[in-house]
Amino acid sequence: MAGFLPISKKDMIERNIEQLDFICITGDAYVDHPSFGIAIISRVLESQGFNVGIISQPNWKTNDDFFKLGKPKYAFLVTSGNIDSMVSHYTVAKRLRSTDAYTAGGKAGKRPDRAVIVYSNKLKEIFPDIPVLIGGLEASLRRFAHYDYWDNKVRRSILCDSKADLLMYGMGELQITEIAKRFKEGKTVDTMTDIRGTCYLTEPRNTPFKSVECPNFDIVSTDKKSYAKATKLQMFEQDEVYGRTVVQRQGDMMLVQNPPMRTLTTSELDRVYALPYMRMYHPSYEKLGGVPAIEEVEFSIAHNRGCFGACNFCAIAFHQGRKIAVRSEKSVLIEAEQMTHNPRFKGYIHDVGGPTANFRQPSCKKQIEHGLCKDRKCLAPTPCKALEVNHEEYLQMLRKLRAIDGVKKVFIRSGIRYDYLVEDKDESFFDELIKYHVSGQLKVAPEHCSNVVLDKMGKPHIETYTKFVRKFYEKTKQANKEQYLVPYLMSSHPGSTLNEAIELACFLKKEKIHPEQVQDFYPTPGTISTCMYYTGLDPYTMEKVYVPTDPQEKAMQRALLQYFNPKNKELVLKALKKAKRFDLIGHGKNALVSDDTPQKNKENNKRIVTNRNAKLKGKGKWQKGNTKNQTKRKKV
């Protein structure tokens, strides 16, 4: 199909391509849009003169789909897609999901569990002489020995299980450019051991000099303290300025992670987004209902990458990095103007953001030369004194976007760091955010209200959020608007006992917040919070952390966040009674839930037998019965 990269032999013939240089295997449907990692990698290669084909969601139970495009000249490139295949398949309760937004028609089950491993092993079986390179989120976050929530154990590096030749971690444009260049020069994959942003396996005797070593797989899979130490070391070496080569023994082989690849410059990022994407799913999916994931991104603009906020439960710091990369204003405006010529465009730009919408500069000048601090976060628990806050450039860009002919509204739907926003003494951006860029609701992420939990999340304390809320509604009223905040909230994060969950429920009641959705903490690979979940330790301090793992307690914590829902009443009552918070049961102004148990049962529930042998009037003793929650008199 003209415009899209080849997906069949017929497409290759139409382009006079006898053999492709690279073939990309992806667990997602083929969507040629820069919000899909495989689209970027394939277009970057194409821009450098290489022929690239796409095999999307191959049937892994047979060999046929893997032969569709023949044998590549240089290598297969394998990714599970935009998200980890296990997260794609399973809820936090480990139940199979019924839909998949990255598949035509939203149909579930079109990719295997652990897609990178399955695809790579199949390719090695069919084409043993062709290099297999893995990348994307699933490969990137599983590059070291890692705790796997679904197996409930520590698994080896994905390089071991996939049998791939090389792993690209992080954002891979510069890595794939260097790899392709070396292939073209006639070099073999086993010589590509010095490329930043890549991992490889080697015999221990070839371990690079001056590398820093993690506890090995055998140790971290049995000793949780060692696992926590390994996690801290890995996180501390993810800075492009001072990050060192990190090694970790995996059985008979040594895993080598080269230092992180540098962040793309603004001009380089502009070129990536200027490539000739079709910005749509392949037409072959039309008859199947299209690919739902396009709906959120088709008319949204990503203007940055990276996040120096670095929340502990988020994988962005370990994948994209903490350093901010930005597109130029010109690049963003060109993309917006092109949208206006799309017949599907109705005049609304849905989002102008990224991992964090309002970051367009380094957090401080120091990081440019010295890197980001190892021992503290830029914003939590309180902003660093060196933090530089400025929304001027972002604001000017938004103003110009609003002025484009054909653009009716420009929204920012998520990703605003309110803790960064409230530190800006110039409130011009805040004012215009309220006036022009909120589509009725603005999603923000306080996540919790207990400072005990927020500290484990790496989030600012709740006072920062309440300050933002007050200003948001003040400015909304001044603008004569009816707009609301939609807070993201998380239950059962490490550090949260029932008491913290109750504290959050009380906060929500006080603030008159009735969340429609809440998220149970999901222990995905590559995060500090997942390390806490598995080890019960904070890897930064090695202090013990309470971890709610009992399904009943997790259900209670989740129910408390929606205490007002009648379906949750029984669980909320159970939680409050377990925590001995009887003050929150009843009809008082602070009560979370009433107890409508029949009066007779209430009276019986209050009876506590403190001494089974206590003598009572008459010739017998009281003895607690065991039926229908009643206390019976028996003669003994």
Residue 618 above 90 pLDDT?
A: no
Please report the pLDDT score of residue 2 as a whole number.
55
Residue type, 293: A
Q: Which helix (H) or strand (E) holds 198?
A: strand 198-202
Question: pLDDT tens, 433-465?
Answer: 999 999 999 999 999 999 999 999 999 999 999
Q: Per 3-state DSSP, what percentage of the chain is helix, strand, and coil (rounded to 5)?
A: 35, 15, 50
- State whether the Cα torsion 457-458-461-465 is positive or negative: negative
pLDDT band at 596 (very low <50, low <70, confident <90, very high): confident
pLDDT band at 597 (very low <50, low <70, confident <90, very high): low
Give mean pLDDT, residues 391-409: 98
Quote the Cα angle for 74-78-81, to 5°.
Answer: 145
Please report the pLDDT score of residue 598 as a whole number.
54
**How far apart are alpha carbons 621 and 161 in whole angstroms?**
68
- From the list 456, 458, 263, 265, the residue with the least C-alpha distance to 371 is 263
The structure tokens listed for 423 are: 């530190």
Question: pLDDT tens, 565-590?
Answer: 999 999 999 999 999 999 999 999 99
Residue 610 above 60 pLDDT?
A: no
Please report the pLDDT score of residue 613 as a whole number.
38
CA dihedral 605, 609, 612, 615 (to 10 degrees): -110
What residue segments make up the domains of the chain, in order of their start? Answer: 9-257
Task: Kindly report the length of the chain.
Answer: 636
Question: pLDDT tens, 290-349?
Answer: 999 999 999 999 999 999 999 999 999 999 999 999 999 999 999 999 999 999 999 999
Residue 603 above 80 pLDDT?
A: no
Question: What is the 8-class DSSP label of residue 258?
Answer: P
Question: pLDDT tens, 246-302?
Answer: 999 999 999 999 999 999 999 999 999 999 999 999 999 999 999 999 999 999 999
Residue type, 258: N
Give mean pLDDT, residues 381-408: 97
The structure tokens listed for 311 are: 């929340």
Residue 632 above 90 pLDDT?
A: no
Beta carbons within 10 angstroms of residue 56's beta carbon: 26
**How far apart are alpha carbons 62 and 385 in whole angstroms?**
58
Any idea which architecture 9-257 has in CATH? 3-Layer(aba) Sandwich (3.40)
Angle between helices 428-436 and 462-478 (to 10 degrees): 60
Percentage, residues of the chain above pLDDT 90: 91
Question: pTM for the whole thing?
Answer: 0.91
Residue type, 448: H
pLDDT band at 626 (very low <50, low <70, confident <90, very high): very low
**How far apart are alpha carbons 70 and 56 in whole angstroms?**
14
**How far apart are alpha carbons 230 and 221 in whole angstroms?**
11
Supply the mean pLDDT for the chain.
Answer: 93
Q: What are phi and psi of 444, to 5 degrees?
A: -135, 165
Residue 622 above 50 pLDDT?
A: no
- From the list 69, 81, 74, the residue with the least C-alpha distance to 17 is 69
Question: pLDDT tens, 47-97?
Answer: 999 999 999 999 999 999 999 999 999 999 999 999 999 999 999 999 999
Residues 361, 428: contact at Cβ < 8 Å?
A: no
